[in-house]
Amino acid sequence: MLRVPVLSKSGKPLMPTKPSRTRRWLKEGKAKVVHNDLECFAIQLTFDAQENVQPIAVGIDPGKHYSGIGVQSGSFTLWMGHLVLPFKTVKERMELRRVMRRARRGRRINRKLPYSERCHRQKRFDNRKQKKLPPSIRANKQLELRVLKELFKLFPISAIHDELVMADVDRTSGRKSARSGVGFSPVMIGQRQMLTWLSELAPVTTHQGWQRDGHGTSQLRQWLGLAKDKKNKANQTPVTHAVDGVTLAAFEFIRWQEWHSDNAKHGGWCGNVQITPAPFAIVRRPPISRRQLHLCVPSRGGKRRKYGGTVTRHGFRKGDKVIAKKAGKTYIGWCSGDTKKQVSVSDVNWKRLGQFSAKKVQLLQRSTGLIVVPTTGLSNLAASSGSV
């Protein structure tokens, strides 16, 4: 079931191939292993080959804290991803930055003077009419876009299917909501900008997750026989969000067709697609703090201690994948900080594994701005997947 991404001699993505053919090409010297930021095993041909490709679609299930992405062809599911979005982290840091900024301005003002003589900074623009995206939403969309661009380097993707969250009016309260009775969703913010970015990569088709006419993402997922975990959306498994990404990608091969009779209106799904086990990866951005020139509490003597940034004193950068040894045990994680003689190493959830001597930490891979944890083996969305 596994399909290995293949790049041409010039680096153009071709149709994925079988692992057996991949081993044969590597053994005969006709291909070489290439690195990518998603840590997906891929090869590049060393000879000229025909560039015949088939339709491949990618589906995006955007969310507030988590997003799901699936890459699907007509016969195989090629890749699934669970994105841990930086919404909460960016929001908290923007609030902290606002508090620090107001504290600095408060310390600067001499309140013994009359109000008209105080050194108040004049407003530079009308900050009540901003048209830019909030930083937390922009960070979410940029992470999704970054992963998509990496997938376009691996697969000859010809179409993008995105789930569109539309506001509806609750008949009881008269308020707008993402779905009647549920409440407005921040996912709706930034959808127009995201569609503009996606249209630069490939043709984009939008779908609604829940539709009254019976042919939305939820209805197609049920028709395909795919299970979805709705109890805990924080679970980093394929059945939470990646399953909707695969379902959205299946819209490229499955269509809802309506027909009418004399007394009624009918419809059904038409097409052919096969959902198969595929590689699954958890992707997030390393929550590195930006370099802070001013801290919350001013230091004595006017000397500011270093906080934030990506540089350490031992040649590592925050976000680098490293291997560390301590007390006879070996740890693999990401550099998250340093002291005078030690390096802090954290896991995929940015929980510190420990502080290790800098002499016992070795670099595995430079930071790419992504933390990717591929799962072992293939993940299956359905107990019995087959052609439909």
Q: Which domain holds residue 350?
A: 300-365
- Give the pLDDT confidence score for residue 385 in this predicted structure: 40
Give residue-wise pLDDT tens across range 219-274: 889 889 998 888 888 899 999 999 999 999 999 999 888 876 666 667 788 889 99
Q: Confirm whether 93 is domain-assigned.
A: no
Q: Confirm whether 381 is domain-assigned.
A: no
Give residue-wise pLDDT tens across range 174-212: 454 444 445 566 788 889 899 999 999 999 999 987 665
Tokens linked to 346: 């954290």
Mean pLDDT over each residue of the chain, to the nearest integer: 86
Report the C-alpha gap between 380 and 238 in whole angstroms: 8
Same domain, 199 and 266: yes
Q: Domain total for the chain?
A: 3
Comparison of pLDDT for 376 and 239, the residue scoring more: 239
Same domain, 176 and 307: no
Same domain, 312 and 245: no
Same domain, 171 and 251: yes
Tokens linked to 175: 């308020």
Name, in order, each residue with C-beta under 8 angstroms of 151's C-beta and a sequence gap of 6 or more. Answer: 38, 58, 69, 71, 79, 157
Same domain, 73 and 215: yes
Same domain, 263 and 355: no
Q: Confirm whether 234 is domain-assigned.
A: yes
Same domain, 158 and 267: yes
Same domain, 81 and 197: yes
- Residue where a domain terminates, one of 261, 285, 309: 285
Alpha-carbon separation of residue 387 from 225, 248, 253, 271, 275 (angstroms): 11, 17, 12, 10, 7
- Give the pLDDT confidence score for residue 265 in this predicted structure: 63
The bridge status of strand 280-284 relative to strand 56-61 is unpaired
Report the C-alpha gap between 385 and 388 in whole angstroms: 9
pLDDT band for position 4 (cuts 50, 70, 90): very high
Name, in order, each residue with C-beta under 8 angstroms of 281's C-beta and a sequence gap of 6 or more. Answer: 38, 39, 40, 79, 80, 81, 82, 372, 373, 374, 375
- Give the pLDDT confidence score for residue 329 in this predicted structure: 95
Same domain, 75 and 208: yes
Give residue-wise pLDDT tens across range 74-104: 999 999 999 999 999 999 999 988 888 888 8
- Give the pLDDT confidence score for residue 227 in this predicted structure: 87
